[in-house]
Structure 1
């Protein structure tokens, strides 16, 4: 099944943000849940192998848009020889985009391909968070292939692809994490320095940073990633993201 979500955020009177376009079709619905917030809502199980979803976002100058989801997405395998399920996010941002969806859980035998492409204008700001868990409780991991591209005025700031799970060329013990989290923050101005944690790292970008963490438990991985955000309070105890509980 093919799904399409389209949201346009525009600066309105008095500094407000208006959303002249909020629409969706297929397995996804979109609802405005706050002055600058929309939530994606799954209307069917999945995605299943072969399903294709595209999310198109436009944030015009002076506008703010926060995009969330109401629950984790559980990727399921399809019967037979179906291709991987896919989700593409395409965002043109001249305002402020905050895109933080609930985790993606990839069930055994499923393969999900996720792509996020953000084209920032000169004054565009971005906060992007991704969290992935391979396999539900008590089952083998699925496979997730994720690509993130961030451009500023057509010039690349970040271009990374990560392939995790059975069948991925670089996924083999002892480097076979089942959980992954990443946050990207970009805004006009100077970047921040490099920082490291337990199975986590933050790297500078022009005008921002990208942090990643990996391990066996998603809650630990998400916390390790958050501990590297500038201004965050460090964890009281070490976060052993790579050690099973």
Structure 2
């Protein structure tokens, strides 16, 4: 859960904004629906319709679809946002985003924060089809995502980061994605780039590319035979996790190329993951 003490004015920069949103789904026996949908300020949650091709849930009408939209620009330096998601037992949730998140600097250079916690319960499925996060010049941002899966839960998650807007250098951006399954670590990835991080744009890391991302797929049916490691492009790979899942990772010169590489990786898994 998000630390509610961040509402303390002493812990927020002058003029900074705190926003918290909560989303929960249940399975009624025939279909899934959102039973909790609460948001305030910059974080806006709304029931939605399909936005295009989806892995696993494409064309299904019995699932809960929710869109996350930005009510204001940002987050700006000093802002603290929190999103809490519960995918109830046996239910299926597709969380999509209306547009990319543009992370902007604050007046005094303070750090902005986005904290996301997700619990996917027994027999549930969570598809998070996120849009890119853009680290604008001079931003200072921490993006922290924690996902806990039940042993028989399924997950498909897309994450994409863009290093600045067109023609500008990025700000300082740090992210952590930690996924546990049955309370055991399955995936823990940390990424930092920007002026404060030495060597992030060198040949051993991004090699001048301005877009980086991944798709994580967790499928309990792969417990005995997970897909093998497969470098399907010079700058993309599909690699098994220490459990029933794979991580598809890629770097690219721009957002469009990155999206194509990630989707190519999904397509190597075949149905129902391909899009």
- Say whether 1:136 aligns with 2:165: yes
**Deviation readout 1:191-234 (Å, 9 max, x if unpaired):** 211111121111102212011111321211221222122128xx
* Higher-strand-fraction structure: 1
Equivalent residue for 2:253? 216
Equivalent residue for 1:39? 67
Deviation of the 1:18 alpha carbon: 2.4
Paired residues, number: 230
Equivalent residue for 1:237? none
The alpha-carbon distance between structure 1 residues 16 and 172, as it changes in their structure 2 partners (threshold 3 A), is closer
Q: 2:43 aligns with which of 14, 28, 40?
A: 28
Does the CA-based 8 Å contact 1:198-1:224 persist in structure 2? no
Q: Mapping of 1:6-21 within 5 angstroms? A: 6-13=22-29, 15-21=30-36
Return the alpha-carbon distance in structure 1 between the equivalents of residues 199 and 265 of structure 2: 25
- Say whether 1:192 aligns with 2:227: yes
Q: Mapping of 1:46-195 within 5 angstroms? A: 46-82=74-110, 84-94=111-121, 95-174=124-203, 175-190=207-222, 191-195=226-230
Equivalent residue for 1:240? none
Does the CA-based 8 Å contact 1:38-1:67 persist in structure 2? yes
Return the alpha-carbon distance in structure 1 between the equivalents of residues 209 and 115 of structure 2: 23
Q: TM-score, structure 2 length as denominator?
A: 0.80
The alpha-carbon distance between structure 1 residues 156 and 225, as it changes in their structure 2 partners (threshold 3 A), is same
Return the alpha-carbon distance in structure 1 between the equivalents of residues 113 and 198 of structure 2: 19
Q: Does the residue aligned with 1:189 lie in a helix, a strand or coil?
A: helix
Q: Does the residue aligned with 1:222 lie in a helix, a strand or coil?
A: helix
Query: Structure 1 runs of 4+ off > 6 angstroms?
Result: none
Deviation of the 1:176 alpha carbon: 4.3
Does the CA-based 8 Å contact 1:131-1:180 persist in structure 2? yes
Does the CA-based 8 Å contact 1:195-1:201 persist in structure 2? yes
Deviation of the 1:146 alpha carbon: 1.4
Does the CA-based 8 Å contact 1:165-1:176 persist in structure 2? no
Does the CA-based 8 Å contact 1:11-1:17 persist in structure 2? yes
Equivalent residue for 1:236? none
Does the CA-based 8 Å contact 2:109-2:139 persist in structure 1? no
The alpha-carbon distance between structure 1 residues 81 and 181, as it changes in their structure 2 partners (threshold 3 A), is closer
Q: TM-score, structure 1 length as denominator?
A: 0.89
Return the alpha-carbon distance in structure 2 between the equivalents of residues 79 and 52 of structure 1: 15
Q: Does the residue aligned with 2:39 lie in a helix, a strand or coil?
A: strand
Return the alpha-carbon distance in structure 2 between the equivalents of residues 8 and 16 of structure 1: 14
Does the CA-based 8 Å contact 1:180-1:214 persist in structure 2? yes
Deviation of the 1:112 alpha carbon: 1.9
Superposed CA RMSD: 1.5
Deviation of the 1:12 alpha carbon: 0.7
Equivalent residue for 2:270? 231
**Deviation readout 1:140-185 (Å, 9 max, x if unpaired):** 2223211111111111011110112221134143334321111000
